[in-house]
Amino acid sequence: MNQQHYPFSLKPLTYAYDALEPFIGQSTLHFHHDKHLQTYVDNLNKTLAPYPQLHNKTLEELLCNPDDIPADIRTAVQNNGGGVYNHQLYFASMHKSNSVENHPKGEIAAKIAECFGFYDVFKTKWKEAALGQFGSGYAWLVYDNAKLEILKTPNQNIPPIHCKKPLLLIDVWEHAYYLDYQNRRNAYIDSFFSVINWDKVEERFQFYTHQ
Ligand SMILES: [Fe+2]
């Protein structure tokens, strides 16, 4: 889906820094996008710079084929490449919402109903996964074998994306919410539901189901 390769660059947000308020504040977005994500991009480029044989590989190719990465930089590529991959998906998963009622629509809404029953059941299970991720990491909604699944990953790990196609994720590293919610991950997750860009999730779902 993502064809970018070395040198990687910081993709600008597609919304204003204050667009997600009051759910996610502009200071959080400035630090999270401009500092944390920029650092992952810079470190990934620095790690790859001396290895021209890796410069034409996409991020997904780098992350899905660890055996192709020289052992001395494998962990750095996985950590920083995962940081770039996860954050790009995360920031693109949100948008400005004027309502606390922000529901899925289209084919993904029908699939959520088929796999989870009511949207509220999905919300409860998603929240359990996001709260249950011990320490830093992510909770995901993925598509695999004609079904939706919720899963979680630690640190900057990604799901096995060759089979589990990412539709939606929430960053539960403290840097994603500490300025707005301090230790209350619970409140941050509740707010996240208000800014999910369901049009983007629908677009990803259709990409994977119609190809
Ligand atoms: Fe993050």
Instruction: Kindly give the distance from the C-alpha atom of residue 88 to the centroid of ligand 1, in angstroms, as a whole number.
Output: 10
Would you write out the chain's pLDDT as a tens digit for each of its 211 residues?
678 999 999 999 999 999 999 999 999 999 999 999 999 999 999 999 999 999 999 999 999 999 999 999 999 999 999 999 999 999 999 999 766 679 999 999 999 999 999 999 999 999 999 999 999 999 999 999 999 999 999 999 999 998 999 999 999 999 999 999 999 999 999 999 999 999 999 999 999 998 7
pLDDT of residue 133: 96
Q: How far is CA 186 from the centre of its chain?
A: 18
pLDDT of residue 100: 64
Instruction: Kindly give the distance from the C-alpha atom of residue 210 to the centroid of ligand 1, in angstroms, as a whole number.
Output: 30
Sign of CA dihedral 142, 181, 132, 44: positive
Instruction: Kindly give the distance from the C-alpha atom of residue 91 to the centroid of ligand 1, in angstroms, as a whole number.
Output: 9
Instruction: Kindly give the distance from the C-alpha atom of residue 203 to the centroid of ligand 1, in angstroms, as a whole number.
Output: 23
Instruction: Kindly give the distance from the C-alpha atom of residue 117 to the centroid of ligand 1, in angstroms, as a whole number.
Output: 30
Instruction: Kindly give the distance from the C-alpha atom of residue 87 to the centroid of ligand 1, in angstroms, as a whole number.
Output: 6
Distance CA(168)–CA(102), nearest Å, equals 14
CATH architecture of 106-209: 3-Layer(bab) Sandwich (3.55)
Cβ neighbors of 115 (< 8 A, separation 6 or more) are: 122, 147, 148
Fold of 26-92: Helix Hairpins (1.10.287)
**Considering only CA atoms, which of 200, 138, 141 is closest in space to residue 175?**
138
pLDDT of residue 111: 98
Instruction: Kindly give the distance from the C-alpha atom of residue 138 to the centroid of ligand 1, in angstroms, as a whole number.
Output: 9
pLDDT of residue 1: 60
Instruction: Kindly give the distance from the C-alpha atom of residue 31 to the centroid of ligand 1, in angstroms, as a whole number.
Output: 10
Instruction: Kindly give the distance from the C-alpha atom of residue 176 to the centroid of ligand 1, in angstroms, as a whole number.
Output: 5
Instruction: Kindly give the distance from the C-alpha atom of residue 36 to the centroid of ligand 1, in angstroms, as a whole number.
Output: 7
End-to-end CA distance of the chain: 11
Domain extent listing, the chain: 26-92, 106-209
Instruction: Kindly give the distance from the C-alpha atom of residue 148 to the centroid of ligand 1, in angstroms, as a whole number.
Output: 24
